[in-house]
Structure 1
Amino acid sequence: MTPELTVEIAVEAGDWPDTLAPLAERALSVALANCGFAIEGPCEVSLLLTGDAGQQALNRQWRGKDQPTNVLSFPAIGPEDAVEGLLGDISLAYETLGREAEALDKPFEAHFVHLLVHGLLHLLGHDHQTEEEALAMEAKETDIMALMGYPDPYDGQDLIVGV
């Protein structure tokens, strides 16, 4: 059974294609349904689509890093909390996402979906601070991406998501 998920999308900056809203909802729904956690009730995720300047400001304010980054996640639930209600906020930077997709020779859409999956897993407590955590998180991302028909986002890549 697919969990009930509401995705609130705000476009702050960037030339984001209109076609990404349904894709974002699908990607986040599939990721939630296959995250490995029991879903206790209806869930919500807020998604901010911004540009490098906005993402840099958020990264500086919340992580002390004065640079843009591809994805930021702001969990609203703790590791011991039930997975329901507002799970948190995810923010993506248009220019960074585009540069990375080009450098990785991947379609913008595929990289967009990967960063959403990555961001949702962060909202649910997954992390990549240690090699063991990174390998587990990458495996979960790869499995979810495959369910949506996308190739392994880490195949032959040294991409560190969310730096």
Structure 2
Amino acid sequence: MNAVDLIVEDDAWSSLEGKTRLVEEAITAVCRELPGREPGVVAVLLADDDAIAAMNAQFRGKTAPTNVLSFPSGEHADNHLGDIALAHGVVAREAQARDIALGDHVSHLVIHGFLHLQGYDHQADDEAVVMEAIERRALAHLGVTDPYENEDPGPAPAAK
């Protein structure tokens, strides 16, 4: 079982009902697709675009906000798996542009971020295929439509 520490730094996230349950269910769904995975603690930060832009600049050398960032942790006695951070403005704009519910998009990004904490990546096409397949199966457990269904193959959500 995983423990989730949800940290809400931006009041704009108040529009998302049931945030804690949504994040916990997303992580539970993706864990069903990762047999043999060790449980642990995950911190999920719901921030604004400025905070994520600052982290993106500091850790990735990119000057703009992104939808999700993942920060895997090393080996710790308390089994902290890492941190996931989401930018409200970017996530809300993407959901609106794709005509999907904000909660569904958050579920997808949390799953995506969690996979990065587990060592998955999407830099190479073969890695992206594996990662996206796990995302699709986990989202299906939640009743969320396949986010890649109508897209050309290409980069997955920005994260890492």
Q: TM-score under structure 1 normalisation?
A: 0.88
> Identity over aligned residues, as a percent?
40
Structure 1 residue ranges without an equivalent (≥5): none
Aligned residues of 1:14 and 1:94 also touching (Cα < 8 A): no
What CA distance in whole angstroms lies between the structure 2 residues aligned with 1:13 and 1:71? 15
Number of the residue aligned with 1:23:
22
Q: TM-score under structure 2 normalisation?
A: 0.89
- The runs of at least 4 consecutive aligned structure 1 residues that moved more than 4 Å come to none
What CA distance in whole angstroms lies between the structure 2 residues aligned with 1:127 and 1:77? 17
Number of the residue aligned with 2:135:
141
Number of the residue aligned with 2:108:
114
Q: Deviations over 1:68-112 (max 9, x none)?
A: 00000000147xx9xx81110000000000000011111111101
For residue 18 of structure 1, report the CA deviation from its aligned partner.
4.4
What CA distance in whole angstroms lies between the structure 2 residues aligned with 1:86 and 1:49? 18
SS of the counterpart of 1:160?
Answer: coil
For residue 160 of structure 1, report the CA deviation from its aligned partner.
3.3
For residue 14 of structure 1, report the CA deviation from its aligned partner.
4.2
Aligned residues of 1:75 and 1:123 also touching (Cα < 8 A): yes
SS of the counterpart of 2:143?
Answer: coil
The structure 1 residue matched to 2:145, chosen from 133, 143, 151, is 151
Q: Deviations over 1:51-81 (max 9, x none)?
A: 1000000000000101000000000147xx9
Number of the residue aligned with 2:60:
63
Aligned residues of 2:3 and 2:41 also touching (Cα < 8 A): yes
For residue 153 of structure 1, report the CA deviation from its aligned partner.
1.2
SS of the counterpart of 2:121?
Answer: coil
What CA distance in whole angstroms lies between the structure 1 residues aligned with 2:37 and 2:156? 28
What's the Cα RMSD here?
A: 1.8
For residue 157 of structure 1, report the CA deviation from its aligned partner.
2.3
Number of the residue aligned with 1:33:
32
Aligned residues of 2:67 and 2:86 also touching (Cα < 8 A): yes
Aligned residues of 1:35 and 1:121 also touching (Cα < 8 A): no
Aligned residues of 2:122 and 2:156 also touching (Cα < 8 A): no
The structure 2 residue matched to 1:73, chosen from 64, 70, 74, is 70
SS of the counterpart of 1:39?
Answer: coil
Q: Deviations over 1:133-160 (max 9, x none)?
A: 1111111100110111111111112563
